[in-house]
Amino acid sequence: MTKIKTEYLGSLRTEAVHLQSGNKIITDAPLDNHGKGEAFSPTDLLAAALGSCMLTIMGISAPAYGYSLEGTTVDIEKIMGTNPRRVVEVKITFNFPKGNNYTDQQKRVIETAARTCPVANSLHPDLKKTIVFNY
């Protein structure tokens, strides 16, 4: 069980504290929703959490299937909709370092891990997830 304590700091800003580690995250409302846009917005964190979760689950699988993810990056684009205001699509592009010659089996494991991470499984099915793997 994870515990987080979040405080409203005013001016559409919050501070969340991960109680076990003491790490903090500041959020700010985005410019297009009355905020300053000086930090991640809560919906930015949703998109970032999806990308981080995918990489983490891919990394858990790596030793068992003989591949490495070192140096892999993820570009994430969050697209908002209206009525109601919500995230309608997250575009995720994985960029693997050149020279990694993944086998077909390793690519299947990587892609399955990404698509079935806990965050992906927790999101509403109407949220479109566009995923690209650049091997």
Reported as a single tens digit per residue, the pLDDT across 57-67 is: 999 999 999 99
How do residues 2-31 score in pLDDT, each as one tens digit?
A: 999 999 999 999 999 999 999 999 999 999
The owner of tokens 């003491």 is: 22
Give the distance, in angstroms, between the CA of residue 38 and the centroid of all CA atoms in the same chain.
19
User: Are 87 and 47 spatial neighbours (Cβ–Cβ below 8 Å)?
Assistant: yes
**Residue 31: helix, strand or coil by DSSP?**
helix
User: Are 38 and 48 spatial neighbours (Cβ–Cβ below 8 Å)?
Assistant: no
